[in-house]
Amino acid sequence: MVIFLMAVIFLHGAAAEPVFVSTDIPQVVDAGQPITVVVNITSQQPVMSVWLTLNPASPDYGYFQMNLTSGNETSGSWTYVIPARPWGGHIDYFITARDNSGDSSQYPASGTSGIEITGEEPPKQFPWNIVIIVVFLGVVLVLTEFIHKPGLYRPTGRERARKLEEEDRKREEEDMAKENTEKDY
């Protein structure tokens, strides 16, 4: 073991890059649950920064600095909590650690790794907003017909005039009938 460590120091010099000792990253999570990402890193030089990078295809694309939660800068655990995601989807990520000598390493060593978001699909919501809009427009249409437009619910001007003329004609006939009966007596 000692020979192995000496060989590593000889090949990489005193400032060997940070080493990802272990990771605690789920591959599958339930929708609506936050995702805790934990990596254990050792380095001969103090680790200055650990960044979680979410791939552009992921909904939360960006670079997020992980926090040292236990240990120290040369041998510690760094953590970041990805906010809960809705049902379905995939988050691609990689993690980069950089020490104060400028050496860096990445997990996974190349490319990205992924987290699947699973769980039950949320129930579809009934589109009540559309129903309310349709009912509102129907009420407005009916009220407009009653108030402003003659025709379907209100007689037209010609129909009203014809009705008034008919009433006038009936009155005249009644008046004439009265006059005729009065003359007869």
Q: Where are the beta strands (DSSP E) in 43-137?
A: 47-54, 62-65, 67-72, 75-82, 90-99, 104-107, 113-118
- Say which CATH number the domain at 112 has: 2.60.40.650
Q: What is the mean pLDDT of residues 168-183?
A: 86
| Domain count across the chain | 2
Is residue 114 domain-shared with residue 132, that is, in the same domain?
no
Q: What is the pLDDT of residue 59?
A: 60
> From CA 32, how far away is CA 29, in angstroms rounded?
9
Q: pLDDT, tens digit, for every residue of 71-125?
A: 898 899 999 998 888 777 788 889 999 999 889 999 988 878 888 888 776 667 8
Is residue 89 domain-shared with residue 24, that is, in the same domain?
yes
Per the domain annotation, does 123 fall within a domain?
Answer: no
Kindly tell me if the per-residue pLDDT of 6 is higher than 70.
no
Query: Under a CB-based contact definition with an 8 Å cutoff, are residues 117 and 79 in contact?
Result: no
Is residue 57 domain-shared with residue 28, that is, in the same domain?
yes
Element (H, E) at 166: helix 157-184
Is residue 93 domain-shared with residue 175, that is, in the same domain?
no
Count CA atoms closer than 13 A to 82's CA, side-chain side: 31
Kindly tell me if the per-residue pLDDT of 174 is higher than 70.
yes
pTM of the model: 0.56
Specify the DSSP class assigned to residue 23.
Answer: E
Structural domain of 134 = 128-179
**Could you tell me which of 33, 26, 22, 40 has the C-alpha nearest to residue 79?**
40
Residue in the block written with tokens 């007689």: 155
